[in-house]
A and B are shown apart, each in its own frame.
Chain A
């Protein structure tokens, strides 16, 4: 090697060695495998740490969320549960079913956790909280947003066809158009409203789960409102607004402020 080429060559070699020596970030898949191994070995604290790390990294996957719920559940089953573990387990299962809506196991697990919370509440002598959602949430929740969107498109098509057929004079087509036009118009108004409202709820609220024994309702300054009934652990709520450590939430028909640390917001996958 010529002396002129020796030093740059050594520098490049050293740089490459440095790159190879530098610690590579652990992949999501490897972390997931480590978490599963920790769960199988009964090291639920390590499993929780790993699955929470994956969540912190922004890796949204239904199986990761499900196993995170399972890790918290494992700690409870090992009688080492900490306050809020039931809520955190429910949050994992809820997130899994949010990402994969047909995940029956996650839905069932979340129901079991809520049943356990209800049982614990009943045993402690506290009153059960009965929640009835508001009419708009009931209507919008009858079907997914996409269903309302496509029904609105069909209604629009019906209305358009009816309007065209009405132009025909004194014929069966005119009669069909006369019937189809008002039906299409009404259906369009209903379904487009539901699609628009579902979109508004999706974009303006964030789903969250209560991860403390009871989420206390406070006023905008953070002062507790003792007359307001607290929201039980593992309950799913909607976050409407956030402000300096407080979150405005909607629980059934109730709206109020609570401490943000009482909640865990569910991660939603990014659209492709």
Chain B
């Protein structure tokens, strides 16, 4: 059992090792590239095509950015036209699916000669992959070989290259076979037409770039029927960009077909411009406006493309070399020539620095400076052109450098740090200038020294001193502002609280000593006495309460008033007759109860209720009096 199991495991492992690891291999395998040319021999002005087929095994990504370097004398007439391609092949027992693109360039030679074109390249998996170089012979106009005719395999005359005889069996009235619908360019497809008859559509190849990186603006004119002419043209505004036209407005790159919704429209490229952003931020490319007049349009109509928003960021700070200037973006190389290498002091040498490459060529260079070396302003010449949609070329800086001090002078080297957005990394183009021998000139004129207006400025500092300690400003702390205003506010509020407390204390004291309160306390005492069956005491307390309440309500000291006069006194001060009578009755009842040994609880409770009712009446009067 164990031996059988081990054997099975070993067989399975061996089988697994033999199986290919399709995903990893597919990811790492380079794409298969095939380069084809329509004609090896052509003539000046006759278009020919170069086609690059790039197929990759990975199905999640396809080769991108096809590019074709061209020698001088060959120019692009149109393209590249990029068509997606999917291929499925049977390889042994496996089905292999490949995805890729077919890029086609239509070229044209401007002068005769032998040319090596290419190699065409694509980017796949972050790497550049190149196809084959194509050799083409270009003859003078009219001297090129005749174009091969398409041969009819059933035409025996054609097979042997004999002149074709007229076919007497052809029916001249037979209708033409229905032509196949034209192939549309998927890159130009639009979901819906924004206007009828004709409209403009502007696109850029990128919407987020770094400062100085090229983006290409293309404006297409879509139309359904011919016979429409332009009446006015307003170019798209791009004030925040440096512009290089890729397509000459007078050139006609040809018409392509594009799907617009469910219909097929004609699309013509009317503008193609390389733009280099000059500043950071969200920059806008304004619309292009063209006025049209013609068939299918209601009079003169104005069509405009949509404005485009481009986000421009600075190149990454990580890995940025010293001396990098924002905007130096591309891929550059640098060469320098210095002559002569042997001069007299005070004389000048010529330093010619050529910067070439793709991208935003720098407009100035940082020259090495040393004592006794004076770099004069350079003469700049440039040769910049659009090649395969990318701006590339060279800029030559010609300096006159004056050398004042005799001896062997090392001119140092010139450096140009740049950022390459294609490879997403920095590079530095360098050119060593070498040494120059400067001889002492016997009759060299004495250098006239000018007045130094900065001689009173101190010398540079040779060591880093102690940096002053910067503490956070005191006003940035919340506690400072609390402390600033809290102490006086606390004192003011404390004084106010103290005054209020004193007032409250006095009010309490006054309330405690008030007659009304005394009356209430006596009534409470009377109730207690009543419960304890001390009816005499209860009557005495009720009498005391009534006198206190009368005094509190009317300020009449009723103890010193004759019982018979009391009602009149009370009514004089606004007490109702009923209340006045009730007062006298309560007082008389108290007197009776105090001296009645047979007094019972019922009488006492009745007296208490009567006194309580009286206290309510007198309390109303007291409040009204206040």
Contact = CB atoms under 8 A, between A and B. Distances in A.
A146 interface: yes
Interface string A229-272: 00000000000000011000000000000000100000001111
B348 to A, nearest CB: 15
Interface string B455-490: 011111111110111111111100010011101101
B510 interface: no
Interface string A200-223: 001000000000000000000000
B467 A77 contact: no
B69 interface: no
A45 B464 contact: no
Contacts of A50: 322
Nearest to B373: A42
Interface residues of B, number: 52
A191 B617 CA distance: 63
B461 A271 contact: no
A131 interface: no
B279 interface: yes
B99 to A, nearest CB: 37
B281 A245 contact: yes
Interface stretch (B118-126, B286-294, B363-371, B533-541): B363-371
Interface string B399-440: 000000000000010000000000000000000000000000
A271 B369 contact: no
Contacts of A49: 322-323, 366
Nearest to B485: A156
Interface stretch (A1-9, A11-19, A65-73): A65-73
Contacts of A99: 467-468, 470
A112 to B, nearest CB: 6
B322 A157 contact: no
B279 to A, nearest CB: 5
Among B452, B456, B467, B476, chain A packs the most CB atoms within 10 A around the CB of B467
Nearest to B371: A42
A270 B470 contact: yes
A46 interface: yes
The A contact surface, by secondary structure, is helix
Contacts of B368: 43, 45-46
B282 interface: yes
Interface in B486-501: 487-488, 490-492, 495
Interface in B271-298: 279-282
A153 B468 CA distance: 25
A188 B461 contact: no
Given A43-B370, A202-B473, A271-B472, A53 B484 contact: no
Contacts of B454: 73, 76-77, 109, 112-113, 116
A184 interface: yes
Contacts of A42: 369-372
Contacts of A61: 464, 467
A8 to B, nearest CB: 24
The B contact surface, by secondary structure, is loop
A95 B446 CA distance: 39
A165 B457 CA distance: 57
Contacts of A56: 317, 320
Given A244-B282, A269-B470, A116 B369 contact: no
A60 B194 CA distance: 55
Nearest to A93: B457
B471 A196 contact: no
Interface residues of A, number: 70
B375 interface: yes
A82 B205 CA distance: 37
Nearest to B492: A163
A202 B366 CA distance: 36
B158 interface: no
A113 B495 CA distance: 60
B369 A45 contact: yes
Contacts of A45: 366-369
Interface in B185-230: none
Contact of A62 (B240, B323, B465): B465
Among B375, B412, B462, chain A packs the most CB atoms within 10 A around the CB of B462
Nearest to A35: B460
B149 interface: no
B375 A100 contact: no
B488 A184 contact: yes
A105 B189 CA distance: 67
Contacts of A71: 460
A20 to B, nearest CB: 19
A19 to B, nearest CB: 17
Given A42-B369, A46-B369, A160-B491, A63 B473 contact: no
Nearest to A60: B467
A24 interface: no
Nearest to B450: A79
B374 A272 contact: no
Nearest to A269: B470
B453 interface: yes
A61 B466 CA distance: 9
A16 B281 CA distance: 42
Nearest to A58: B317
Contact of B488 (A46, A53, A159, A272): A159
Contacts of A159: 487-488
A206 to B, nearest CB: 16
A199 B374 contact: no
Contacts of B412: 43
A140 interface: no
Contacts of B480: 149, 153
B404 to A, nearest CB: 11
B368 to A, nearest CB: 6
Interface string A175-200: 00000000011001000100110110
Contacts of A39: 460
Interface string B308-319: 000000000100
A199 B458 contact: no
Contact of B461 (A46, A67, A184, A270): A67
Contacts of A116: 453-454
**6 tightest A-B CB contacts, nearest first:** A42-B371, A271-B472, A49-B323, A160-B487, A163-B491, A105-B458
Given A49-B322, A112-B453, 11 more contacts: A36-B460, A50-B322, A63-B461, A78-B369, A80-B369, A109-B458, A113-B454, A146-B473, A146-B474, A188-B484, A199-B475
Interface of A: 29, 32, 36, 39-46, 49-50, 52-53, 56, 61-64, 66-67, 70-71, 73, 75-80, 99-100, 105, 108-109, 112-113, 115-116, 119, 145-146, 149-150, 152-153, 156-157, 159-160, 163-164, 167, 184-185, 188, 192, 195-196, 198-199, 202, 244-245, 261, 269-272
27 contacts: A41-B371, A42-B371, A44-B369, A45-B367, A52-B323, A63-B464, A64-B464, A71-B460, A78-B369, A80-B374, A109-B458, A112-B453, A112-B454, A112-B456, A112-B457, A115-B453, A145-B473, A146-B474, A149-B473, A150-B474, A156-B487, A156-B488, A244-B282, A261-B279, A269-B470, A271-B473, A272-B469
